[in-house]
Amino acid sequence: MEREDNWTTVIQPKERLLHVDFAELWHYRDLCMLFVRRNITTQYKQTVLGPLWYIVQPVLTVLMYMVVFRGIANISTDGLPEPLFYMAGVCMWQYFSDCLGKTSSTFVDNASIFGKVYFPRMVMPIASVLSNLLRFGIQFALFLVIYAIYQIFVIPGQIHTNLYALLTPVLVLLLAMMALGFGVLFSSLTTKYRDLRLLLDFFVRLWMYATPVVWPMSTISNAKLHLAMSLNPLTPVVEAFKYGFLGAGEFSWGGLAYSAAFAVVLLAVGVVLFNRVQRTFMDTV
């Protein structure tokens, strides 16, 4: 009989629950980067405006918010110029919802490729999150342009940017972690029963209204409601972003720590479940 340790590949029905092969994932990093490139380069192939769509979409969204939420509903913008306030929210929220949308359909979208070849399935959602960074980058640049226009020409010196703006990369990381965690959790739950999928769009829309994207935390005077909104792990992230750049909003380290803890737990649960499902999802998807 051969010794056990001679075998380099062992395929069996079930792996240990917490067995996630990170070394293998790292081995496939080139593939991940290629997927990122593919996602980016093929998204707007054969369109006239091409990458300009990255800018058209948020601009239209901001204009719509200005009409609906400010013009009609008259919701406060924390005393900030409307385009700037909405753009900050859109920038953050869009990244989160784009990532969530893409990662939550990982199994269903890639069934044909997953059915033919093995590579760590996590590569796909990670690549989605990374490739959405480009879009975020462009929207963030747009935000900075609008910011610069207001700061320099329109209301010089009245926007109180502070050092917390430097936290932006951390905030984006938190968004990415939460979107990834939630997305893979979701995609694992929906391989067999797709009922939840039908709820996702609705749920994401609701979630946006529960996040200070089109309204500031400061408008909520009811203490209970304020607390409820603070429990949304996205709230501290979006508020911190607005606070850093625009000087208006609520910033608390406690809130951010809560978001971070939430993101870590969510991601861990998501990855473990995803890892479990990936082995047999082909039979049920």
Partner 1 sequence: MSTAIEFNNISKLYRLGLVSTGTLSHDLKRWWTVNVRRREDPYMKIGEVNDRSSRGGSDYVWALKDIDFKVEQGDVVGIIGKNGAGKSTLLKILSRVTAPTTGSIRAKGRIGSLLEVGTGFHPEMTGRENIYMNGAILGMSKAEITRKLDEIIDFSGCERYIDTPVKRYSSGMMVRLGFAVAAHLDPEILVVDEVLAVGDAEFQKKAIGKMQDVSRGEGRTVLFVSHNMAAVRKLCRQGVVLDNGQMSYIGTAHDAVEKYMLDKNTYNSEVRTIVTPEMRDINRSLKVKFISIEHAKGDNTYAADEDIVLLIEVKSDKSVEHCRINCTIRTTDDLSICTNSSTKYFNIGQGESKRFRYTLHNPGLVVGNYLLSFSVGVGNAEEGETNFDVVTNATSINIDRPRKNEESYFLKWDTFSWGHILMENSLEELSSCDM
DSSP string for 55-119 = HHHHHHHHHHHIIIIIIIT----TTS-HHHHHHHHHHHHHHHHHHHHHHTTHHHHTHHHHTT--S
11 binds partner 1 (CB under 8 A): yes
Shorter beta-carbon distance to partner 1: residue 38 or 205:
38
Our CA angle for 93, 99, 101, nearest 5°, is 100
Shorter beta-carbon distance to partner 1: residue 110 or 168:
110
The only residue of 60, 73, 198, 282 in contact with partner 1, by rule CB under 8 A: 282
Name the DSSP class of 20: -
Our CA angle for 140, 259, 66, nearest 5°, is 40
Output the smallest distance, CB 32 to partner 1, in A.
9
In Å, how far are 9, 93, 110, 144, 175 from 127, measured between CA atoms? 26, 19, 13, 26, 15
47 binds partner 1 (CB under 8 A): no
46 binds partner 1 (CB under 8 A): yes
CA nearest neighbour of 92 among 52, 133, 131, 50: 133
The only residue of 50, 71, 115, 137 in contact with partner 1, by rule CB under 8 A: 115
8 binds partner 1 (CB under 8 A): yes
Shorter beta-carbon distance to partner 1: residue 21 or 201:
21
The only residue of 47, 158, 219, 284 in contact with partner 1, by rule CB under 8 A: 284
3 binds partner 1 (CB under 8 A): no
Q: Which residues of this chain interact with partner 1, rule CB under 8 A?
A: 2, 6-14, 27-28, 30-31, 33-34, 38, 41-42, 45-46, 113-119, 192-193, 279-280, 282-284
